[in-house]
Structure 1
């Protein structure tokens, strides 16, 4: 297959921008054009619910240094929405009706915050967190005495709750699950996060769903009302699949079906980041991940695929969180409700590493306020090491590698 002369990337977030940068790093000298809805140069999202929201940073990290795109001949078409992909003609159509040709195309369209389909779910005062404008606007409202209701006890909900408490707001978190982060971490580690927030003054309303939104708060399924001056909805994200679906690309597992090398059902089109339902060689099934590292690393990897390589993408999922004085990193992919939990360190002191083991092999690991074993943890997770619980509790992790 001849090297492409023109590569178009739809999406100017981390995945799209990483793809563009990696193409130039690999020496590709053809045309690279990036289309993005936002008018800002590409930036990273994690700080929106962490440093920017708390007030420790005024702007999230840029994906590349100022001047990178001009210096490297990457054309950014920002503030432009793509409305159609015509795979048979190898063109895309923008919102102005103009067509743009490509030899290879990358879909990096990301995701948008989910909304709850309940009465009042479209009230204009409800807050979500997806753009830098969302974060800055919410930060302005987080102040002592302001009542904040956070709907959702996942990662975004917990991070927003932490930021709001640090800024002095009164916080209540609502979720139908009985523990925060239970679906990802299971009940034992979920309890750690519940206690962390409770000690900082967060009120939990768990085990009850939202029946509707009001101008001054949230009505719960048990008929009670949680009053709030600010309501933040953090119930996950919906992958932006409209372009792929309209183009006739195969979908699977809630995303765009891609092969191990991140190619879609149309070989000239690849998909990366939040939307990619990846046929993952490590796990023998499709995996779709909505985290920073996945967007960054898939973007870097797909550059090789676009230039004719067929190497499979094999990286294990990775994500991190900062809440108050707790920092953590998670590597791998576990079923927290079924896999065996092994803890090294102290849950009570929030100074530990949690491991999830299935069939005698390590599936995932999460270090909490422990930072010395990251390389060893990555190697153990990558190899799905055969280890016993006793080894994980007491042996040197580097020796286990």
Structure 2
């Protein structure tokens, strides 16, 4: 296959680079490189303002299946989105805080929402003014999403659902304005039946409580969210159709975002290679592992480009998750291996930024955070089951 970009894509690359260079100034320049998995606590205020800057530039919602400019956004092809993402990552623009609303909720509303829901939320997301989090996983219902126990009961006074229950591992909940919640709306229903996809405001004192989960890396970007009769402002896709909507959303979770992620991975790998080179003690085993990491990263990129247009393919997202989850965890192991015993000590001269959060440098935090890569976002076991059952047609795992 031809993985090169066309002339139009390269023209877009120049425009994107010029726009980013011209706008990454002042507080945004200070926020470069901040945020992202494992670092979501960094520069939150500046990154939230940056979302509005992106909105004013029309860079939010590039892949939405709506007419060009319907919500003030630039409509880009798949390769155009890749070009933008590459330039964004290459210039170390601030980590996005609006990506859940832009890349998960918005396409879901376009596919399943009512015109009223689309008109209410899409413009605010495109302007960078409305931040979202995802209320799926629960204690005892993480990878097995069909086991959710959070309920929603309609209030006879106003007919609006009242949500009660607990969600866990909710990224960015501490900063989100809204949460889309998978809840059980049919009493006595089980598994995939009787679920609804609800839109819930987070600013409901006494009804919504967010508790950070402190990780061993010292950060707390994941949260527990407790709902106690929280009002849901809308149901997407109709009551009882939550499983269909939820699965439709998950199919949108990978794709161009996987390529963006890989650019960040490449920067992390480069730091580890430099640390190895600076160690002054060549180790052929470590060198072989580094070469293997580089080759696997290139393979992941080609696979991501190859499957960009594979909408509806149930196996493509699972293959991508299996590939990058294991790769990134191995990179974390390499980050400390190249430093030997020094990796067990406090921050050293190899760290790239200061001050050091929670007494850890970048490589130490990378090692600790990546232990979770093969678990969050769907564990390796679940991804292999999806491939086996939905793609290869093998018998389902006994329950």
The question of a shared fold, defined as TM-score above 0.5 by the shorter chain, is answered with no
User: Which structure carries more relative contact order (alpha carbon 8 Å, separation 6+)?
Assistant: 1
Which one has a larger percent helix, Structure 1 or Structure 2? Answer: 2
**Bin of the TM-score, shorter chain as denominator length:** under 0.3
Which one has a larger percent strand, Structure 1 or Structure 2? Answer: 1
